[in-house]
Amino acid sequence: MKHINVAVSYGFGSDNRYNDTGSIPQSIQLALYKYELYEQQKKEIFKAISRSHTHVHVVHMPLDFLRQDRLLIFDMIKEIRDEIGCCEFVVHPNKLIKQFLPAFLDQHLMDITLCIENFQFRKKKELRNPLKALEYINLLKEDYEYVDRRLRLCFDTSHADDIWFEYQLMYYILPYTNIIHLSNREGRNQHLPFNTGKGDLNLVGFVKDLKKRYDWSGTIVLEYMPEHRHKLYQNAEYIKRLLYGPSGRNTKHTV
């Protein structure tokens, strides 16, 4: 049976949009939201992760990474890989992403995977939905090798319009998806807690379907707005029970 990891999004220091004042969880998405803050704090981040024996499943690239010198960003990716062993990175499909992805493939970083995140149509992104991202990835296959494993998708539930949860679309995009950012939405309010009895999305059914209906494997990351982050760990344990029964013990890493 395929395995699904469960992690929470976590930031450090002043880059603490998803930080918690307690100890570092054992399974995280390392949330980096500004390149300058990463450069200032990276030694402390690496030390903290090492001391806590935290497993970093994925790194969320800084929101401003496309505005930085590309060579600096490639050095950053390699540095993170070498220091904490993480080889999956989530990227936002902002302006210049179509120039960045071929430049990344030119680097021959064969062990690194970039996961392109989806956004709602009203957000003006260059590759705003999964099909647009896959269309561009397929174009890149004409000039580059191993694109299927180097460029993947991150499906964010709170960014997705209702149509993306229909069976045929989900069945098509999940084989290309390594990361799922899990949170609810209500109207335009995004990144709400998973299980509040409110929200527009049936996420309990969605999580169950990931295993039973779609036989998906990858990493679920709970990604909440700051005012809801105190619910991350409780919700993560609940998701494990949905996936693996009352004990939730079949996961490789615990939060």
Q: Which residue has the tokens 């379907």?
A: 209
pTM: 0.92
In whole angstroms, what is the distance from residue 91 CA to residue 109 CA?
A: 16
> Position 106: which residue type?
D
> 3-class DSSP state for residue 249?
coil
Q: Which pLDDT tens digit goes with each residue over 59-70?
A: 999 999 999 999
CATH class of 4-244: alpha beta
Tell me, what's the pLDDT at 196? 64
Residue type, 182: L
Lookup: tokens for 113: 């995977």
Do 101 and 126 meet the contact criterion of CB atoms below 8 Å apart?
Answer: no
CA separation for the pair 43, 166 (Å, rounded): 44
The CA-atom distances, in angstroms, between 163 and each of 46, 157, 167, 189, 190 are 40, 11, 9, 18, 17
157: left (phi over 0), alpha (psi -120 to 50) or beta: alpha
pLDDT at 2 (0 to 100): 80
Q: How many whole angstroms separate alpha carbon 117 and alpha carbon 183?
A: 14
Q: Is the pLDDT of residue 254 over 60?
A: no
pLDDT band at 122 (very low <50, low <70, confident <90, very high): low
Question: In angstroms, rounded to a whole number, what is the distance separating the alpha carbons of residues 20 and 185?
Answer: 22
Q: Which two tokens stand for residue 87?
A: 């080889």
